[in-house]
A and B are shown apart, each in its own frame.
Chain A
Amino acid sequence: MDLVLRSQGGDEEAFAALFQKHKNLVYKTAYLMLSDANEAEDVLQEVFIQVHKSLHTFQPFKGAFTTWLHRITVNYCLNRRRKRRLPVLSLDEISSTSVRGSSLPFADQLAEEKAIHQALSQLSHKLQAVVILRYYWELPYAEIAQILDIPIGTVKSRLNQALKTLRKELGALTEDAPFPGVLIF
């Protein structure tokens, strides 16, 4: 039987499996939105406590479990950021990684990464949320709309606004970047 259904029926083993299956979804979203591993760990706990409490209210015919989980996670992160006014995407954490597939020297990769993270951190909470849901989780607009409880048109306008802001901020990084296959005629 489906893990969600079994968990709704009080099967604790199924709930444990549900946690293992979806913990990365919650943790990584929280990590991207709060930019702090300890905060993300706390959010993971709080979200699954919430899921455990209100799993009986989840109605599969209204949408996927992951949509519901994303919704709880994003709302929790937004509230946490409102309360604590955390910085987003701290620059200190970037030094240990590099842009995959980039042909740039390491120092340039790092500078590029920092520029992108800085640009992302300038976006409002709302714009960051749509960017993460779309360009990290690659969710369709309709699902993002469901998660954030906004019309699809608003998802569209927020992504448009976010991408154009980022494009302006990143300037040279995107102006000259060749990207084969962009133009489809």
Chain B
Amino acid sequence: MKCQEVSELLVAYLDGEVTPSERTLIQAHLAECNFCRKELTALSATQRCVSQSLQVKTAQAAPSPQAWSRLQARLAGEARPSLSWLPTWLQRLAPGVGRTTQIFQGGLTMKKGFAALAAIALVVVLTAGAARYWYPQVVFLEPIRPGEEGWAVDWVEPSAVNQGDAVNGIVRGPSGETDYRCVVLLEPIQPGEQFSKASEPVCSRGPIDSINGVSLDSSYLIARFYDDTWYRNLLVEYYGSSACSPTISYGIPDLPDNLDNKFASGRAYSNCDHIHVYDHNNYGGPSYSCGANCPTFYALNDEVSSWRTTD
């Protein structure tokens, strides 16, 4: 075993998570290599520091004595009559115990400060009008201020787009990847539409040559997205029937649960020279655009919910 290979396994070795044969090879290498022995010692000390630090941090952390009674009250509240007679968007604003602040702090994106004020009025009206269903409750909401989470985020202007990356050229046929990942076949975005029709994903370790009977031999590799930065841990490969062009682009407006908020890097191929990723579904919220090779999506790492690729 070489130092590089051993280095990749040292943490697992310390954690007792290597195979017996790996263990033997690592120990043989360590007996000969002073550099790797030092590395092992340092990593072990790091583990110990981290472990102690986490223990210290939680030494006095404990739930409040009222935690169970609060939960009981919440469970009783949840069991009250449903609000199905209300339109969906009004149901979301219904002030169930302890829920309203959550909606306004994390669930809705206020584009203007006055939207929050309007929502306060709505909550008051709902609370009064539906008193027979809910316990009376006073809710104080603060409007979102410029710069705070939830305030309108500027669109990334084309001039700010990173266009310096090399393009990846036309790539056709199955990729030959052997790691576990999913493959999805896309149709180009049709005129007047905003998204590509997508096949069900096929996920497997080893070659994936066709999807729903459609051979990938004549399909174009459109994009790959990875779980980690710098193209590590491939999650999904997207194929399309055509390469990108001024009139042909691809996009997914709502990533499925197993891919939502997971992407941290991506690459586009087949004349698709730009990747655009978005925090929210339907290409909404904060966005980031880059060339064909995006080793990181920066603030949107682990946040991407929709994406597009264009020529």
Contacts and interface: CB of A to CB of B under 8 A. Distances in A.
Interface string B51-93: 1111111111111100110110011001000000000000000
Contact of A183 (B40, B49, B59, B227): B40
Contact of B52 (A24, A84, A99, A170): A99
Contacts of B60: 96-97
Interface in A3-52: 16, 19-20, 23-24, 27-28, 31-32, 37, 40-42, 44-45, 48-49, 52
A19 B261 CA distance: 29
A98 B37 CA distance: 30
Given A141-B15, A184-B27, A185-B27, A174 B49 contact: yes
A42 B63 CA distance: 10
Interface in A121-139: 124-126, 131-132, 134-136
Interface on chain B toward A: helix, strand, loop, or mixed SS?
Answer: helix
Contacts of B40: 182-183
Contacts of B301: 124
A84 B144 CA distance: 13
Nearest to B180: A151
A100 interface: yes
B128 interface: no
Contacts of B64: 41
Query: Which of A27, A89, A140 has the most chain B CB atoms inside 10 A of its CB?
Result: A27
A143 B134 CA distance: 41
Contact of A19 (B48, B53, B71): B71
Interface stretch (A56-64, A65-73, A157-165): A157-165
Query: Which of B11, B37, B74, B106 has the most chain A CB atoms inside 10 A of its CB?
Result: B11
A103 to B, nearest CB: 13
B47 A135 contact: yes
Interface residues of A, number: 74
Interface in B98-157: 98, 102, 105-107, 149
B1 interface: no
B55 A136 contact: yes
B8 A135 contact: no
Interface residues of B, number: 61
B168 interface: no
Given A134-B15, A154-B233, A159-B12, A116 B149 contact: no
A45 B71 contact: yes
A113 B106 contact: no
Contact of B58 (A100, A126, A136, A161): A136
Given A98-B56, A174-B46, A185-B31, A157 B232 contact: yes
A124 B232 CA distance: 14
A163 B43 contact: yes
Contact of A116 (B50, B70, B75): B50
A96 B227 CA distance: 37
Contacts of A107: none
Contacts of B165: none
A173 interface: yes
B30 A163 contact: no
B61 to A, nearest CB: 5
A53 to B, nearest CB: 8
Given A41-B63, A113-B56, A167-B46, A182 B41 contact: yes
Given A141-B15, A160-B11, A167-B43, A132 B57 contact: no
22 contacts: A41-B67, A45-B74, A45-B98, A48-B71, A52-B75, A83-B106, A97-B57, A97-B59, A100-B55, A100-B56, A117-B57, A136-B51, A141-B17, A157-B8, A159-B11, A159-B15, A160-B10, A179-B44, A182-B14, A182-B40, A185-B30, A185-B31
Given A23-B63, A112-B49, A126-B264, 14 more contacts: A44-B67, A93-B57, A97-B60, A113-B56, A116-B53, A124-B264, A126-B302, A141-B12, A157-B232, A158-B228, A163-B47, A164-B11, A174-B42, A185-B27
Interface of A: 16, 19-20, 23-24, 27-28, 31-32, 37, 40-42, 44-45, 48-49, 52-53, 78-80, 82-85, 89, 93-94, 96-101, 112-113, 116-117, 120, 124-126, 131-132, 134-136, 140-141, 149-151, 154, 156-161, 163-164, 166-167, 170, 173-175, 177, 179, 182-185
Nearest 9 pairs of A and B residues by beta carbon: A177-B45, A83-B106, A174-B45, A136-B54, A116-B53, A182-B44, A167-B46, A135-B51, A27-B63
